[in-house]
Amino acid sequence: MDFLVQGFLTAIELLFSGDAETFSAVYATLAVSFNAIAVSLVLGLPLGFCLGHLEFKGKRPLRLLVDTGLALPTVFIGLVMYAFLTRQGPLGSLGLLFSLPGIAIGLTILALPIVIALSAAAVEGLDRELRVTLISLGVDRRQLFLSTVWEARHGILAAGLTAFGRVLTEVGIAMMVGGNIKWQTRTITTAIALETNKGEFAAGIALGLILLLIAFSVTLSVSFLRKRG
Q: 141 falls in which pLDDT band (50, 70, 90)?
A: confident
Half-sphere CA count of 88, side-chain side, radius 13 A: 3
Say which range, 55-64, 133-142, 144-153, has the weakest mean pLDDT.
133-142
The answer to whether the CB of 40 falls within 8 A of the CB of 118 is no
Which residues, 6+ apart, have CB-to-CB distance to 214 below 8 Å?
26, 29, 30, 168, 188
Q: What is the pLDDT of residues 24-50, one digit of tens each?
A: 888 999 999 999 999 999 999 999 988
Looking at domain 22-187, its CATH class is mainly alpha
Whole-number Å distance between alpha carbons of 147 and 48 = 14
Q: What is the mean pLDDT of the chain?
A: 85
The answer to whether the CB of 83 falls within 8 A of the CB of 89 is yes
> What average pLDDT does the segment 197-210 reach?
79
Tell whether the model's pLDDT for residue 108 goes beyond 90: yes
What was the pLDDT predicted at 197? 83
Which residues, 6+ apart, have CB-to-CB distance to 35 below 8 Å?
101, 104, 108
> What average pLDDT does the segment 96-106 reach?
93
- In percent, the amount of the chain with pLDDT more than 70 equals 95
What was the pLDDT predicted at 225? 66
For 7-16, give one letter per residue: b (16+ CB within 10 A) or e. beebbeebbe
Q: 229 falls in which pLDDT band (50, 70, 90)?
A: low
All structural domains of the chain with their residue ranges: 22-187
Whole-number Å distance between alpha carbons of 140 and 54 = 15
What was the pLDDT predicted at 47? 92
Q: What is the pTM of this model?
A: 0.87
Say which range, 11-15, 59-63, 172-176, has the weakest mean pLDDT.
11-15
Tell whether the model's pLDDT for residue 23 goes beyond 90: no
Q: What is the pLDDT of residues 68-97, one digit of tens each?
A: 888 888 899 999 999 999 988 899 888 899
Q: What is the pLDDT of residues 169-188, one digit of tens each?
A: 899 899 999 988 888 999 99
